[in-house]
Chain A
Amino acid sequence: MQGSKWLFRTHVHDGQLAELIPEYLVKTLGKTKPGIMAVADDYGLGASKGIQAALAKLKVSPAAVASYAPSDKDMSAQLLEIKDKGADSLILFGRPADVTLVIKQMNDLGIKLTTIGNSSIVAQTTLNNLSAAEADGGYAIGGMIPQTSTDAKIMDWSKRVQDKYKVPADNFTVSYYDTVYLLKSIIEKVGCDKAAIRDALAAAKDWKGMLISYQADGQGDLAHTLGIYRNKGKTPELTGPIKESGY
């Protein structure tokens, strides 16, 4: 990954989101004039650029492209700009803390737009701070989160994470957990030799994690299944899995 054969990635990454979000928005939800709002750092701006490129490939051009500083609290200026330019939907890319504010302020301003973005829209931290009316209807594509699982073991694990660490389990928590167990199973098989571990990771195929299975590709990425979620009130529902093309 990134030119090194020693670097692997066990969580879905924004490059995948940058492709899949526009695809779902345009092809399935039928929106053609999205406004883009991203947090202004490497994470958000990188995603924003990728999303704009993917939209261009779908022959769609965004109504407006806006960003906000990570510590900003008032995004109404950007939201008004997006509304003024006639957007019919909003692609939102940020972290739970700021995404909460954007959604809240969108509601306060009476702006109604179909909203889709990264997992921050359905993260527990975000939903804890929104009312049912504010959260309802938002779409997210991202790493699978534990809250929508019906498996009793997963729900119990989720609860224990919350109790012990005072923060809700999210898609990253699942990914870290899976990564540790993946390494454990590899080390049990091949021992502690660095090169052997690396080779085993590169050969990983269909390793079943908590919510998805992992498979290494030529670039060292192991996660290729994402979930499409939609908020029903304050509860995210799994609309379905979405796989990167070719998987």
Chain B
Amino acid sequence: MKSWPMLALSAAVALAVPVVAHDGYIIQLLNIAILNAIVVLGLNFVTGWAGQINFGQAAFYGLGAYTTAITTKAGLPWIAAPFLSVIVVVVASLMLGLPTMRLRTYYLAMTTIGFGEIVRLMIVHWEPVTGGTSGLRAIPGVSVFGFGPQGQVQHYYLLIATLGLAILIASRIRHSVLGRAMIATRNSEIAAEQSGVDTIRTKLLAFMIGAVYAGLAGCLYASSIRFISPDSFSGTQAILLMTMLIVGGMGSIAGCVAGAVALTILPEALRFLGQWYLVLYGLGVIAVIVMAPGGLASLVSLAQLRRANAG
């Protein structure tokens, strides 16, 4: 149960950031971090709660972004983009989910990687529509009844609001029957089945919800960054999303956000390290897995526990 003061404080900090930081570059970086956080929240349903390893999340992110870019550039009103993105990713998640429901860990990992690769190859080679490796630029921005956010700061507030909504929904699901079914599935599929949980349906729903989160984030990504290319949605990105989840804390909503923000800002802050950043990043991930597999979230609750016991 989250504490209300912490929640209020985080919200206040989040809203105050653009007032304090005037650098457009930092705001843009945070915008990307917020988008990543939404995608990681989606991944959390599948991997954190339902326990299904999923390296295809970046593909759903990309499908949402490309659907939005293609349709808005083709002249459709922006409001259609989120709906179309959701439809595309739901269909894609079913295509990935249905054949793989019975697969176990390693096979599932391989299949989701394969799915991601196939989507990426399709994007790269369908040049007339997707712009191939050069990507798509000059994507129209968010526009509802002629109104849309202008400039990074307004986009920031829009994205913060979306993130807030995403967190709220995730929290609701977590405490619902579906959420409990997911956790039961993760802990032991066989036991869950015996207790009457339809694990197949649960896993599929987790996949779909996760994909929808990523698809909508992709839609916003295309409409706010206004330029997309296949590189942002590659297998490397899928791995990055997974590490954001782990570092932040698998299963913890706050962890997702923390992990996403941390691992979006870190490469920029540590740019001076050059190639060494990736080496340290890899070692850091291993260190987290070995020493604190619950990620940052577990460290926080450990600290809280210690404080509670000491007092």
Contacts and interface: CB of A to CB of B under 8 A. Distances in A.
Asked if A and B form a direct contact in the complex, defined as CB atoms under 8 angstroms apart, the reply is yes
Interface of A: 40-42, 69-70
Q: Closest 9 A-B residue pairs measured CB to CB?
A: A41-B133, A42-B134, A41-B132, A42-B133, A42-B132, A70-B133, A41-B134, A40-B125, A69-B124
B235 to A, nearest CB: 12
A42 B132 CA distance: 8
Nearest to A41: B133
9 contacts: A40-B125, A41-B132, A41-B133, A41-B134, A42-B132, A42-B133, A42-B134, A69-B124, A70-B133
Contacts of A41: 132-134
Nearest to B121: A69
Contacts of A69: 124
Interface of B: 124-125, 132-134
A97 to B, nearest CB: 16
B129 to A, nearest CB: 15
Given A40-B125, A41-B134, A42-B132, 6 more contacts: A41-B132, A41-B133, A42-B133, A42-B134, A69-B124, A70-B133
A130 B124 CA distance: 30
A41 B127 CA distance: 9
Contacts of B133: 41-42, 70
Nearest to B131: A42
Contacts, number: 9
Contacts of A42: 132-134
- Chain B interface main SS type: helix
A167 to B, nearest CB: 15
Taking each of B125, B133, B134, which has the highest tally of chain A beta carbons within 10 Å of its own beta carbon?
Answer: B133
Contacts of B124: 69
A40 B124 CA distance: 10
A56 B71 CA distance: 37
Contacts of B125: 40
A69 B121 CA distance: 10
Contacts of B134: 41-42
Contacts of B132: 41-42
A244 to B, nearest CB: 27
Nearest to A45: B127
Contacts of A70: 133
A69 B132 CA distance: 12
Nearest to A40: B125
A41 B125 CA distance: 9
A70 B230 CA distance: 14
A40 B133 CA distance: 10
A70 B125 CA distance: 12
A4 to B, nearest CB: 15
B150 to A, nearest CB: 25
A42 B133 CA distance: 8
A42 B134 CA distance: 8
A144 B125 CA distance: 33
A42 B125 CA distance: 11
Nearest to B127: A45
A70 B124 CA distance: 11
B263 to A, nearest CB: 25
Nearest to A70: B133
Nearest to A42: B134
A69 B124 CA distance: 10
A42 B128 CA distance: 12
A203 to B, nearest CB: 32
B120 to A, nearest CB: 12
A42 B130 CA distance: 13
A166 B235 CA distance: 30
A85 to B, nearest CB: 23
A14 to B, nearest CB: 15
Contacts of A40: 125
A40 B125 CA distance: 9
A8 B125 CA distance: 30
Nearest to B124: A69
B132 to A, nearest CB: 7
Nearest to B134: A42
A70 B134 CA distance: 13
A166 to B, nearest CB: 13
A42 B229 CA distance: 14
B64 to A, nearest CB: 25
A9 B125 CA distance: 29
A40 to B, nearest CB: 8
B3 to A, nearest CB: 49
A41 B124 CA distance: 9
B123 to A, nearest CB: 13
A69 B125 CA distance: 9
A1 to B, nearest CB: 18
A201 B125 CA distance: 38
B273 to A, nearest CB: 19
A70 to B, nearest CB: 8
A70 B133 CA distance: 10
